[in-house]
Every structure is written in C-alpha cells, then in structure tokens.
Structure 1
Amino acid sequence: MPPRQEPRRSAEPSFPDVAQLGEAIATAIHSTLHPLQRTLLETMYNLKLDKFEGNEGFEGTERWLEHIEKTFRVLHNQGNLLVEKWVETTSWFLSKDSASWWEQELCRLSLVEKTDWDVFRELFRRRFVPPEYIDRKKQEFTELRQGKLTANEYYRRFTDLSRYHPDVAGNPAEMLRRFRLGTKKKWRSMATTTPCDTYQEFYEILLRIEDSENMPSKSEEEEKDENQRNDDKGKGQASLGPRRT
C-alpha cells in the first residue's frame, strides 16, 4: 500500500479576513474618538462634594446649597446632568436626619414638584435657614456702608448681601442708588461726574479713583529722587578720602 501523502502546505503566509480586520479597526477608532462615558454616580463621586450634616450653621448651609447648585449648573451645561435629576442627586449628599426630613416632604409633593429644583431649594432654606436670619441679613444690606473697606471689598459685600433683598436686587436703578449711597463721601462726589447706569459701572469708577489715590504724588517722587541724589553725592565724597584744610 503506497504511503499516505500529506496535503501540500502553501508557502504563502495566512492573513485574517478583510471584513474582520476592518471591523477591528473601526472598533479601535470608535473607542479612541468616543471614550466610555462615566456614570452620574462616578462623576459626582469624583467631584468630592461635601455631605450636608445639618450642623454647618446658617451661613454654612447657604454656602453648601450654593456650591451644590453651581456644580449642577456646570454639569448641566456640559450635558452630563439634566435639571430633572438635580433634586434626586442632591439627596445623595444629605445626612440621615436631613434625608428623613426630605422623605417626609416628598409625601406631600406632587410628581412635578418632587423633581422641581426651585421647590426643593425653597423648602430646604425654610427648614434649615430661619426667617430671622434672612431678616437680619436684609437689614445688614440696607445699612451697609463702605467705611474702611476697599472698593473691591465693598463691592463683594454689597453683591453678596443683595440676594437677601430680591426686590432691590432685581431693580438696577435702586441697586445703583444704594451702592452709591454707601460709598465714601469723597469718592462719591468724585465719581458722580461720570455717568453710569449700573452699580457695576460705578464700582469700576471707584477702582480708578482708589488707584489714583494709592499712587505716590509727584512731590513725593521728586523728594525721593532728591534724597537719592544727596545720598549718592555723600558716598562719592566719602570715597575721595579726608578733605584737606
């Protein structure tokens, strides 16, 4: 019986299927151009937002709520967080007591109100920021005067306190009147010569006045130059040795 012959092997190298190769290349390109999106929970965890414990104080409570809202607004503008998810996401950062309070509030709200951020913010402030505190801040805004504050410090304080008086904050003319009334009398008389429509524009004028006052006067500069010349002259004479009499 003749020996069995092995099938001839082709000397040419084997290549993968063209369709499979094209699919692999397309997958690689897609993964490069479209990386895996993080889940909402992963995104919030990486932000490392503080949990609301309830012992932050009135001002700390407002700062916490403002920080949460600003963070959500940035995520929303990036397309990563819908407005309808703001309330639900905030509940992740509530402590046990505050979370229990919110669960009780949910029982009294409609389906639309449960996801309304304005509703949550109003109820949250009403629960953790008493009206007496709001009234005190409103009075502080009304009686605010620049005094020894710099123009920038006065502007920041005025802007921060104005949110406690929404009726005034929504009126540009009244905001300008109150801001101008609280500035230094000397600066106010100097700034009124320049017309402006908003308190932000008046603030820019105050900055220029403040900068001009902080600059050394011409006489002071001349006095420094003269003192420097005298010092240099004295040093030059000393280097020549003792004078002969």
Structure 2
Amino acid sequence: MANPGGNVPQQPCSSIIGGIQQFTSALMNVLSGHRLNWTYIEIVRSHEVTELKSVGNCEEVKQWLEKMEDTLEAIKCPLNEWANTVTFFIKGDARSWWKSMKESCPPSSWMTWSAFRKCFITYFLSPSYRLRKRHEYLEFRQGDLSITEFDSTFRRLAKYHDGTYDNPQAQIDQAMLALN
C-alpha cells in the first residue's frame, strides 16, 4: 500500500509524545520565574484590592466589600475560603473588630461567607444606612429600566436586605413585585 503522505515518513506515536514532553518541559522552563501555586490572598492582591483600614464611611466600606466579592468570584475562589481570604485584607481599626469576632467564636467553628458577611454589614454599615438601603430595595421598581439594568440594580440592592440575601424565593417574590 502506498504511503498516503507522499514522501513524508510516518513517525511512531512515541516521537509525538516525546515532542509534547519536550514542549511541556520548555514551557515550564520559560515559566519557572512565575509561581504556579499562588494562594487566594496573593491572587486577590494581584487584582489590586486594597486593604480595609478605616471604618467610618459606609459607602466606601460597601464598595470595598463588593470589590472583594467580585474579585473572589472572578478568580473562582471556593466559597469556603472567602471569609479567610477577606479577613487578611482587614487592617487597622477594622482589624480590632475581626479579632473580637474570632475570639467570640468557638475555636472549632468555621465561619461561612454568609455569616461573615452578615456580621460585617451589621458592624460596618450604620443602622440608618442599612435602613435606607432596605427601603430602596423594597421600593425599587423597574420603571424605564431595561431588563439588564433592572437585574443589575435589583441584585445590588438585594445584597443589603437581610431577608432575601440567602433566600432565593424571597428574591424572586420581590423581583416580581418590582417588575412592570
């Protein structure tokens, strides 16, 4: 039978595998200056998330938390690592709060992101700020907003309403009321 590749000799499979191994080895040598096993803290830091040091401005604290959540989601950090990763970036006066929170929890207990977030918001966002956001959420209506704009605003506001943050059915019910 004639060689279908013309004058090109057929190479055994082992030479292809050897080529792949050589390529992989060369690639690893090129990347040797780059760390392949970064921690989530290092990855978040590379996304230019700042540390939370002051606790006075509710809007800044809210934006910091949103940036942190967006970053953790984007880097696909497992949810069970969120609280541990976020607390590394809490410094200064804000760090005192976190230390007291850790001391009040039993040593063997693990704080979920939902529990951490609720404690964080309760402490750092004033009652009047949270009440204003809750009212904004409950009174929100679609009006002239597109579905995309509605969804984005609705989800942002829902984060600050304790009754719906962990309750998808309550969010659906509220969204139905808010739609035109």
State the TM bucket, normalised to the shorter chain.
0.5 to 0.7
Matched letter for residue 27 of structure 2 = T
- Tell me which residue corresponds to 2:44: 44
1:106–1:114: 8 Å Cα contact kept in structure 2? no
Aligned residues: 151
1:139 corresponds, among 122, 135, 139, to: 135
Partners of 1:91 and 1:31 lie apart in 2 by 39
Mark the runs of 5 or more structure 2 residues left unpaired by the alignment. Answer: 1-19
Higher RCO (CA-CA < 8 Å; seq separation 6+): 2
TM-score by length of 2: 0.64
Partners of 2:89 and 2:51 lie apart in 1 by 5
| Identity value in percent | 21
Displacement after TM superposition at 1:127 (Å): 0.9
Displacement after TM superposition at 1:94 (Å): 1.3
Matches within 5 A, 1:1-245: 29-30=24-25, 32=27, 35=31, 36-40=35-39, 41-55=41-55, 57-76=57-76, 81-144=77-140, 150-152=144-146, 155=150, 156-165=152-161, 166-167=163-164, 170-171=169-170, 172-180=172-180
Alignment partner of 1:170: what SS? helix
Matched letter for residue 65 of structure 1 = L
Q: Which of the two has higher C-alpha Rg?
A: 1
TM-score by length of 1: 0.49
**What are the Cα deviations for residues 40-70 of structure 1, in whole angstroms up to 9, with x where unaligned?**
2542332111111224622321221122122
Mark the runs of 5 or more structure 1 residues left unpaired by the alignment. Answer: 1-24, 181-245
Which runs of 4 or more aligned residues in structure 1 lie more than 6 Å from their structure 2 counterparts after TM superposition? none
